[in-house]
Structure 1
């Protein structure tokens, strides 16, 4: 799994791919059935993975982080698909945009980021509205396949997690089954509100306490905002000791369990082909 972090905080290059996620996956045997049912839409660079179900009962959309692509989370999605065989996993790729934080370099990005060293609510997030529209359309297509938006989970890492929160919690009707934020935060705080219809959607935050890119305090601030002023009923935060801007096997397993609970699928099936 390739996790790209903002270079301005790490080095002067365009970005640094962290290897913590890859190390976490080295001891994990991927589901052969999941890879047998993997497809790539070359026009949009969207990956779809299904492990077993010919007619899946749920859809889980995974949004990658800044500078990454759908391929960066394909290994993890294959693991999740093996553990949750009745769900399909859809991984879109962000468009190429100039990113101010990285000197204007064009890279896969869901929106522009000017800085990550200030307050989360002072970001302009230019382009996030267009990405929201793209994800809204994707969710609508998935909902039609699996029995409604209530059978769809929207999850993401870093910038993808921020977009998942932004898009998933503004649905005026047909709320999602859940929204998952991994190493992310509420973008453009103060510029939008959670839709009343989405206030009952379970929201799970998963964050490392050693994250130097998206500060743990941003996750704390986002949780407080949702629980308080935004009146979201079910918001949880799991913090991982020593985890930086990356992912671990423990987090991957916890996210799978959160997905399963939200969709009423029961505990993830480790025997289905993946070991979480």
Structure 2
């Protein structure tokens, strides 16, 4: 099983964009540090497909070492370099919470192979880690402006299928999570899953945010891996 035995997801708070016809697929999208699911729900509404619902959970408020503050975060952050210490227990706990949402959707009729996991920044990082450690074969991952947490534990830590499509996007002018980290992540991912299923797109002039061109690429990815059935 992917996740724990709870019948209800641990993260019950989420902004949901319902499909306009019978829901046969879902995208679970995780926001970045200090944010909420509301903004991304609005953004994703702009690329919605009639049969796909979007679930944008809100992270709990926790102490974040990097910011010396309490804020919405999926796990603690000590630094933003590849050498920074990581909140291993927090990352694993957050991944279990997301896996519980996947199980909840499966019980309600949307199987894991019809679910794409995605996110931005810290949310993208968690989506990568969750998908790679999930026992289920997911439809794919959308990883925007992010990195792979606990990267040294892979590929041994991967329990997911090697045939996991991954769309990685990164702004070339990102001063928060430098594009170099994205490139290092893409290289690492190629040692974990089928390299032919990894797409790494970069966007000139784009900082630590999204853009219409990137969202159009996300929509194409969702259309390809969650086709109408």
What TM-score does the superposition give when structure 2 sets the normalisation length? 0.88
Match of 1:28 in 2: none
Aligned counterparts of 1:205 and 1:47: Cα–Cα separation in 2: 23
- Residues 22-60 of structure 1 show CA distances to partners (whole Å, capped at 9, x for unaligned) of xxxxxxxxxxxxxxxxxxxxx94311111411x301010
Equivalent position to 1:260, from 220, 223, 226: 223
Match of 2:46 in 1: 79
Query: How far off its partner does 1:192 sit?
Result: 4.2
Gapped runs of 5+ residues in structure 1? 1-42, 267-276
Contact 2:78 / 2:84 at 8 angstroms: preserved in 1?
no
Structure 1 runs (4+) deviating above 6 angstroms are none
Query: How far off its partner does 1:77 sit?
Result: 2.1
- Residues 180-212 of structure 1 show CA distances to partners (whole Å, capped at 9, x for unaligned) of 100111112103435354210101101100001
Aligned counterparts of 2:221 and 2:87: Cα–Cα separation in 1: 28
Aligned counterparts of 2:91 and 2:15: Cα–Cα separation in 1: 21
Query: How far off its partner does 1:130 sit?
Result: 1.1
Match of 1:191 in 2: 153
Contact 1:94 / 1:108 at 8 angstroms: preserved in 2?
yes
Aligned counterparts of 1:241 and 1:212: Cα–Cα separation in 2: 13
Match of 1:69 in 2: 36
SS in 1 for 2:148: coil
Contact 1:122 / 1:188 at 8 angstroms: preserved in 2?
no
Correspondences of 1:1-276 after superposition (within 5 Å): 44-53=12-21, 55-81=22-48, 84-103=49-68, 105-116=69-80, 118-119=81-82, 122-126=84-88, 127-172=90-135, 174-193=136-155, 195-228=158-191, 230-233=192-195, 234-265=197-228
Indicate how the Cα distance of structure 1 residues 197 and 133 shifts in structure 2: closer, same or farther if over 3 A, else same.
closer
Aligned counterparts of 1:208 and 1:265: Cα–Cα separation in 2: 31
Aligned counterparts of 2:168 and 2:211: Cα–Cα separation in 1: 14
Query: How far off its partner does 1:129 sit?
Result: 1.1
Contact 2:41 / 2:54 at 8 angstroms: preserved in 1?
no
Gapped runs of 5+ residues in structure 2? 1-10
SS in 2 for 1:160: helix
Name the larger-Rg structure: 1
What TM-score does the superposition give when structure 1 sets the normalisation length? 0.74
Q: Cα RMSD (Å) of the superposition?
A: 1.8
Contact 1:149 / 1:175 at 8 angstroms: preserved in 2?
yes
Contact 1:60 / 1:154 at 8 angstroms: preserved in 2?
yes
